């Protein structure tokens, strides 16, 4: 029994836009009758918006960079109520941490001022003590 091999061709419309792949079987002599609106040229990979140019006998990618970006960007999925609450809670925790750091910075500043005042008081006591010394 003869094994018949099929040929895959690619159908395009009047403007050259890809329509579908078509499987052709050979005639009795083993030849393939390729329709006018089909080509053996494989589609480029990847292909987004290919058009067949009959004059050049090749597929041409016609997608613009903007269209490609729009097609390939991840879909935006709306957040659930739980996710929104979690996001808000995280923002509030972050704000609380910033405020906590500001309070800590003020406390450290206050400690330095207190130490500064203590140093001056000690210096003042030393000066008073020296001035009370009888010569």
Three-state SS letters, the chain: CCCCCCEEEEEECCCCEEEEEEEECCCCCCCCCCCCCEECCCCCCCCCCEEEECCCCEEEECCCHHHHHHHHCCCCCCCCHHHHHHHHHHHHHHHHHHHHHHHHHHHHHHHHHHHHHHHHHHHHHHHHHHHCCCC
Residue 59, preceding peptide bond in cis (omega within 30° of 0): no
Residues of the chain short of pLDDT 70, as ranges, are: 1-4, 133-135
User: Counting Cβ atoms within 10 Å, is residue 38 exposed (0-12), middle (13-18) or buried (19+)?
Assistant: buried
pLDDT score for 3? 64
pLDDT score for 106? 85
3 token code pair: 């094994």
pLDDT score for 100? 86
pLDDT score for 1? 44
19 in Cβ contact with 8 (< 8 Å)? no
Q: What is the pLDDT of residues 77-99, one digit of tens each?
A: 898 999 989 999 999 999 989 89
């Amino acid at each position: 029994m003869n094994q018949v091999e099929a040929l895959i061709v690619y159908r395009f419309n009047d403007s050259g836009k890809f329509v579908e792949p078509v499987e052709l079987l050979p005639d009795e002599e083993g030849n393939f009758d390729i329709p006018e609106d089909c080509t053996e040229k494989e589609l480029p990979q990847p292909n987004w918006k290919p058009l067949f140019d009959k004059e050049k006998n090749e597929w041409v990618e016609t997608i613009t960079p903007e269209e490609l970006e729009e097609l390939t960007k991840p879909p935006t999925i709306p957040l659930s109520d739980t996710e929104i609450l979690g996001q808000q809670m995280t923002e509030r925790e972050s704000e609380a941490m910033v405020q906590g750091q500001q309070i800590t910075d003020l406390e450290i500043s206050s400690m330095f001022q207190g130490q500064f005042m203590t140093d001056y008081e000690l210096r003042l006591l030393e000066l008073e003590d020296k001035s009370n010394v009888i010569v």
